[in-house]
Structure 1
C-alpha cells in the first residue's frame, strides 16, 4: 500500500489473505511456493509441453519441473492411455 519493499513474510501473509478472501479451503497452508506448484500442474493439465513449463519456471532440469506437477501420476495423462484411446477412436469402437 505504501509502495515500499515487502519481505518474504509479508508475501506469505499476502498470499494467505488473498486465498482466505477468495474462499479457498486450506488457505492457512498456502505459501507463495504453492503458486508455483499450481502453475506447473495447471499448465501440464492443459497440455502445455513440459519443456515450455520448464522454461517458464526457469528450471535447468526437466525432472525439477516434473516434481512441481502435482497431477503427474494421473493415469488420464499417461502416454499409454492416450495411445490406447486414440486406437479405440480410430477403430470406431
Structure 2
C-alpha cells in the first residue's frame, strides 16, 4: 500500500466515523464531498499538531506495531524519493528502527 492508498483508506474511515461531516456534505457532488472530507481531515491533523500522513496512518493501523511499521515504510519511501541512503535519512530525521 502506498501513501495515496493509505490516505484514501484513512479518509473513508474518517468520514464513516464522522456523522456530522456526512450530514454537512451529503448534498454535494462526489468530488466536492471528497474535497471537503480531505480538508476536514487536514484541519484535524493540524489541530493535533501532526502531519496529515501521520494522521492517516493512525486511522488505518490496526495495532501499534503495524503503525510503527507503516511509519517506517512511509519514511523509507521519502528517503527513496529524495535519493538518500536509509542510514543517512534516519540520522537526519532522528528515526530509530
Structure 2-normalised TM-score? 0.25
Q: 1 or 2, which has the higher helix percentage? A: 2
Structure 1-normalised TM-score? 0.26
Larger radius of gyration: 1
